[in-house]
Structure 1
Amino acid sequence: MTRPSTDSYADSATRFPVYFVSHGGGPWPWVDGMREQFARTEQAFRQMPQRFPAKPKAVLVITGHWEAEAFTVSTAEHPSMEYDYYGFPEHTYRIQYRAPGAPALAARVRELLGAAGMESAEDPRRGFDHGTFVPMALMYPEADIPVVMLSMKSSYDPAEHIRLGQALVPLRDEGVLIIGSGLTYHNMRGFGRPTSTPVASAFEAYLNDAITAPTAAVRNERLVHWEAAPGARLAHPQEDHLIPLMVVAGAAGDDVGRRLFVDQAMNVAMASYEFGTVAEPSE
């Protein structure tokens, strides 16, 4: 198979918006009972492609389920599956999402990071984790859009991840959809507890104030200091599911963000955000 050159991701006619999505719990679309809890999320994910200016050439997912010592891109032409969850029905360990990879896009990402003075690596074995295949399977069930994953850096430095996003801005003009996949609340001991409801809501309100700030400088400053938010460490004892938002904020450039939707599941608010010009979906 002949690999396309990195130039195949140039010359797009329009700029794509960027997204942070709260991807929900485990393989919920394939689990009776859980799927009903995330009905609002399912509806929104299925409608998201209507908001894009065109069908993307590829999707780059920064997933809260992958971290490495250096920013790392997946390079498999046919990615495998990563069943990175526990205690779910047996059939959820046989889910397949057969979207192709995009080695040319992976190379382009590394090129952009190198130009920004950022070290990177590649992983030819990395498969689709549920932070990737859950939203993608709902958005593009035909699995006909190439998908590349990009890891977080294990330091979780928010400013560094914002800089990462800033290096990726050119992709928005090259037909690539950038998605950060995590959760606005991720405390495994707090899910399902009524006492977590006000914590999740207060923390999400801080995030929403940050992403809707009138300038990128104000937005990014608030996100860098996210630990000052009400209930920050109760909402995120570890920030792996929050850091993808930092990357998206960097990739947003000067675009002001907005809530895409908020779902209420497992007693907590789970919000998703978008940045950039979008087409309103038809009813």
Structure 2
Amino acid sequence: MPDRMPVVFLPHGGGPWPFVDLGFDDKPGFDALSGYLRSVRAVPKTGPKALLVISAHWEEPLPTVMTAERPPMLYDYYGFPPESYALTWPAPGHPKLAERVRQLLGAAGFQTAADPQRGYDHGTFVPLKLTYPEADVPVVQLSLKQGLDPQEHLAMGRALAPLRDEGVFIIGSGMTFHNLRAFMDPRSRGIAEQFDAWLRESATLEPKERDGRLIHWEEAPVARLAHPREEHLLPLMVIAGAAGSDRGTTAYNATFMGLRLSAYHFG
């Protein structure tokens, strides 16, 4: 049996930020996040057989998996330079893992679906182009479930936990602050700091208390100012569920474009 894989929640930044000029002068912040993302490859003690990625940028009525053997690129961002629409990251898919994901979720009572056409969205290819630049590990994406119920997504993660003993590295890709309308507002810095402090405390608590806090995340200070819509927070719920009894650690905590972000590792 391979070593049990850790699970990771990481911030993926904004659009294709590491690969094009966004016109925003934040070299220390960009360097800190890109350096962290490069380091994620070394988090598992042994190389994973495959990655399962839950991206904030995919929602479906049912939890849905990508099943293509060679997933295409999905440039799901707008208004960036032309070169951002020519980025490539040709990681292979893994149809057998996709079927295993559906099997585990089905055994936990979830109806699921498959998508043979879906490509890698920027919540997956942008950070993982830094983590796995050779695109040499098979990848399956799993969608969020519409409704964005935190308890359901914790349950999804718990159902997927056996994959950790099967050589699968589970990664949640989101953001700990995601309010695009307020992104350039200087007042947002205080909001991001306050919410991130609450989240750092919550994600590293004893697992039962951690999960309870995450279920009721809307009760946190400035929660809806940090996340008017919670799709960028929900991958953390899946990761916390898959973490089970493992306590979290804060693996990255820095500012990006002036806003406080963090990443969490479990196991």
Task: Quickly name the TM-score band, shorter chain normalised.
Answer: over 0.9
The 8 Å contact of residues 20 and 179 in structure 1, kept in 2 or not, is answered as yes
- The residue number in structure 1 matching 2:220 is 229
Contact 2:4–2:164 (Cα < 8 Å) also in 1: yes
Q: Report the Cα distance in structure 2 between the residues aligned to 1:39 and 1:190, rounded to whole angstroms.
A: 23
**1:243 maps onto 2:234 in alignment:** yes
- Note if 1:105 corresponds to 2:104: no
Q: Give the aligned partner of residue 253 of structure 2.
A: 262
Aligned position for 1:85: 77
Counterpart contact for 2:74–2:122, Cα < 8 Å: yes
AA aligned opposite 1:171: L
> 2:9 aligned with 1:20, yes or no?
yes
After superposition, residues 1-283 of structure 1 pair within 5 angstroms as 12-32=1-21, 36=27, 37-214=29-206, 216-276=207-267
Question: How much has 1:190 moved relative to structure 2?
Answer: 1.3
CA distance in 2, matches of 1:158, 1:106: 22
**TM-score (norm. length: structure 1):** 0.91
Displacement over 2 Å in runs of 4+: 32-37
Q: State how far apart, in whole Å, the 2-side matches of 1:154 and 1:226 are.
A: 18
Take 2:30 and 2:146, find their aligned partners in 1: how far apart are those partners? 29
Q: What SS does the corresponding residue of 2:251 show, helix, strand or coil?
A: strand
Does the 8 Å CA contact 2:20/2:83 hold for their aligned counterparts? no
Q: 1:266, CA displacement in angstroms?
A: 2.0
Over residues 27-69 of structure 1, what are the superposed CA-to-partner deviations in whole Å (9 max), with x where a residue is unaligned? Answer: 0111135583411011011111222111110000000000000
2:180 aligned counterpart, secondary structure: coil
SS across alignment from 2:181: coil
Distance 2:40 2:63 in 1: 27
| Contact 1:193 1:267 (8 Å CA) reproduced | no
Task: Deviation per CA, 1:216-236: give whole Å up to 9, x if none.
Answer: 211110000000111100000
Q: Residues of 1 paired with 2:127 and 2:139: CA distance?
A: 12
Distance in 1 (CA, whole Å) between partners of 2:121 and 2:188 is: 26
State percent identity of aligned pairs. 54
Q: SS of the residue aligned with 1:221? A: helix
Residues 163-220 of structure 1, C-alpha deviations (whole Å, 9 max, x = no match) = 0000000000100000000000000011122100110111111111111112x21111
Give the Cα separation in 2 of the matches to 1:96 and 1:48: 20
Partner Cα separation in structure 1 for residue 47 and residue 224 of structure 2? 38
**Number of corresponding residues:** 264
**Whole-Å Cα distance in 1 between the matches of residues 2 and 67 of structure 2?**
26
Amino acid at match of 1:26: G
CA distance in 2, matches of 1:213, 1:229: 15
One-letter amino acid matched to 2:255: Q
What runs of 5+ residues in structure 1 fail to find an aligned partner? Answer: 1-11, 277-283
Helix, strand or coil for the counterpart of 2:191? helix
Alpha-carbon distance in structure 2 between the residues aligned to 1:138 and 1:27? 11
Query: What CA distance in whole angstroms lies between the structure 2 residues aligned with 1:163 and 1:144?
Result: 30
